[in-house]
Structures are given as structure tokens and as C-alpha cells.
Structure 1
Amino acid sequence: MSDSFGDLVGALQPGPTPRPGNLPGRAAQVLLVGCWLLVCLLPVFLAVEDLKLATGRIGTPGTLTVVSCEALGKGRYDCRGEFTPDAGGAAIPVDASPDSEAGDVVRAQLTPEGDRAVKAGTAGVIAALTLPSLGIGGLGFLPYVVMYFLGVRRGRGAAVLFGWVLTAAGTAGTVAGMVAAYS
């Protein structure tokens, strides 16, 4: 075996396994928890505008008629539609949700920018809650991990139960949102 191949194989071999009870340092623990929070809470903050649109707090109410959907490859689509405001007026060309199909006619809200329309009403709200549900479900076991890092033993069983419940609720919300988006 050549030296370069041996070096490559050696680099790919797993290093020593950590002994039980070895934890990353405090700085690494804080970094891990911070990243976990960022990944799970970012979708919640990014969904605020879509939730406001779906509930009718911002935007213009009306009807969206999906005119065309062009396949972009790899299961992705670019859909175009015409938005007709409830107050009357000419139809406005807009971007439609990529989960639409040509010919769909749905209640929608036009964004304040006037460039896209999103599904409104109950189905729109549930669809807008898809990513926040995923993020909240991802937070389920964070309390247990923090307790483990801090060495707290009392209450870990409750933290695990809480983790399962929150993760199941997040999963259910994500699935419901996807069903609402594609219905």
C-alpha cells in the first residue's frame, strides 16, 4: 500500500471514541444550543408575513386564477396567475404558489408589493404554519439537552415526555400544513 493511500485511509478512519460522560466545553455547548435555537426559531420569524397575508391583516383580498405552471426540473415549478381584487378592477399578473396547478381558482391575498398572491382563509393559515410547526417540533428535546449539559438530573423524564409531545405536535402541524398547501 502506498504512503499517500495509507494516509488517506488513516484520515478516514474514526478517531478515538469519547468515554461516557465526556461533554463538549461550555463554549461549544452554548454554540450548539444557540445554533439549535437559530435553526428552529428562524422559520417562525420568516413565516410572520405569510401568516399576516393568509389571515387578511395585510394585502388585498381577491381571487387568484392560476394561468400556467412551468416545470423547472427536479420537481420544481414556476406558476403564474391573475389576481382579481374583490374591490373590482383589472386582473393583475402575479406569481402563484409552486404547489398550484393551472386552472386552480382560490381565495387569495395580494402582497402589498403586488407581485404574488397567497392562499387565504383557513387553508392558507394552515399552509403558512407548515415551517413554524417544523421549527417548533425541532425544539422538543432542547430542554432535555440543556438539562443534560447542566448536569440536572431531576426532571429529565418530564423533559423527555415534553420533547415527545412537542415533536409530535410539530410533526402533525407540518403534515397538516403540507396537506393544506397541496389541496
Structure 2
Amino acid sequence: MSPRPNRRRSFRARQQDAHHQQQEERTQKFLKIFYLVVAVVIAGVWNVMETPPAIKEVGIGTGLIGIPGTLTILECTDQSTAKFSRRRCDGDFVYASTGEHVTVRAFSWGTVGEVYPARIADGQAGYAGARGALAALLDIGTGLLFLGLVPATAGSWLSSRVRRGLGYSLTGGGLLAMGVSVVTSFL
């Protein structure tokens, strides 16, 4: 007969295993909370900083706000940094009703020397028409996409049906809005 292996573990070894398991559970909980906070901060900052101007641009594009006229792009400057590529354009807006000229900040995707149908609101000119309204959807779609991250990172705190539904709807809506915006920017 061979000797039976000792299956009993010492009390100290069982305590250490329980301690390691508790540490692992705490780490997992911390990571879930950390990822949720990061997702909420990203979604919140983007939606606070970028969505209101985009909604204003949609209003200008649809004709709900602003005064009609034409915009000639005078100059565009590249304000790129190591992390971001940003272009700023200035233009000459001519009011349709009075013919008065005003220098304004213009949309960043214009071509220098081109004349565009535009509307002006609060010193900012926006492209008038469907193209201007749809082009602004990129920022709104990105905001929805970031909001779609929140239920995805909430993990076990939401039921899987609610998490999937929110995540799919917000992410799908964001991707659709971004796709429409990118397609219309080439028209």
C-alpha cells in the first residue's frame, strides 16, 4: 500500500489563500470603478465641451438660428500641437439683407477664397443647408459613442440585457451620426 497524500492544509495556508482571494476581489472591484469613472469623465467632458457648439452648428445649418448671407474664407491657420491637429479659419461674412461686411470665425473645413452660403450667429458663421447640419453630426456622434462606453464599463452592476441595450443603441447611434457626417463632408 502506498501512503495517502496529506490533503489537509494548515490553518495559516488557508488564511493566506483567503487573504489573496480578498485582495484579488478588491483589485477587480477597484478596476471596475476606475474604468467606469474614466468612461464617465471622457463622455462628460466631450459632451459638455463639443456637443453644444455642434448643436449650434446644426441650428445654423438648418436655418433655425442665424442671419443669412455669404461667407468668403480669407485665411486658415494650422494650430496643430504635438497631440492635436486643429485648423482655424477666418472669413468675410456679407449679410444678405444689408450687404454689410463682417470678419468672423468660419468653419474649419472651408477652402481659402471660396464663397459659401452661410448664416451667422453670435459672431460665428456656419455653412447653411443640409451639408452644414449633417457635418456637425460628427461631434454629436462622437459624444454618443463615448456615452455608449458607460454602460459597457458598468459591467456587473447592470443587468446584461440593459447593458447591451444601452451600449448598442448609444454606440450605434454615434457611429451612424459619425458616418453620415463623414459622407456629407465629401459631397
Give TM class, smaller chain. 0.5 to 0.7
Stretches of structure 1 that go unaligned for 5 or more consecutive residues are 1-15
Residues 117 and 178 of structure 1: CA distance in aligned 2, closer, same or farther (over 3 Å): same
CA distance in 1, matches of 2:33, 2:152: 18
> CA shift at 1:40, angstroms?
5.0
**Superposed CA RMSD:** 3.4
TM-score, length-scaled by structure 2 = 0.66
Give the number of the structure whose residues are more often helix, by fraction. 2
The alignment status of 1:19 with 2:29, answered yes or no, reads no
> CA shift at 1:125, angstroms?
0.8
1:59 pairs, out of 57, 61, 66, with: 66
Larger mean Cα displacement after TM superposition, 54-63 or 171-180:
171-180
Larger mean Cα displacement after TM superposition, 48-57 or 36-45:
36-45
CA distance in 2, matches of 1:138, 1:26: 17
CA distance in 2, matches of 1:44, 1:119: 17
Residues 32 and 153, structure 2, Cα contact 8 Å, conserved in 1? no
Residues 37 and 81 of structure 1: CA distance in aligned 2, closer, same or farther (over 3 Å): closer
Residues 151 and 163, structure 2, Cα contact 8 Å, conserved in 1? yes
Counterpart residue identity of residue 160, structure 2? R
Residues 137 and 170, structure 1, Cα contact 8 Å, conserved in 2? yes
CA distance in 2, matches of 1:167, 1:58: 29
Residues 175 and 33 of structure 1: CA distance in aligned 2, closer, same or farther (over 3 Å): closer
The alignment status of 1:98 with 2:103, answered yes or no, reads no
Residues 100 and 182, structure 1, Cα contact 8 Å, conserved in 2? no
Aligned identity (percent) is 24
CA distance in 2, matches of 1:53, 1:100: 16
Post-superposition Cα deviations, 1:65-101, rounded to whole Å, max 9, x if no partner, equal 2233344566544423221222132322222222211
Larger mean Cα displacement after TM superposition, 62-71 or 29-38:
29-38
Larger Rg over CA atoms: 2
> CA shift at 1:108, angstroms?
0.9
Residues 35 and 153, structure 2, Cα contact 8 Å, conserved in 1? no
> CA shift at 1:179, angstroms?
4.4
TM-score, length-scaled by structure 1 = 0.67
Residues 60 and 119, structure 2, Cα contact 8 Å, conserved in 1? yes
> CA shift at 1:124, angstroms?
0.9
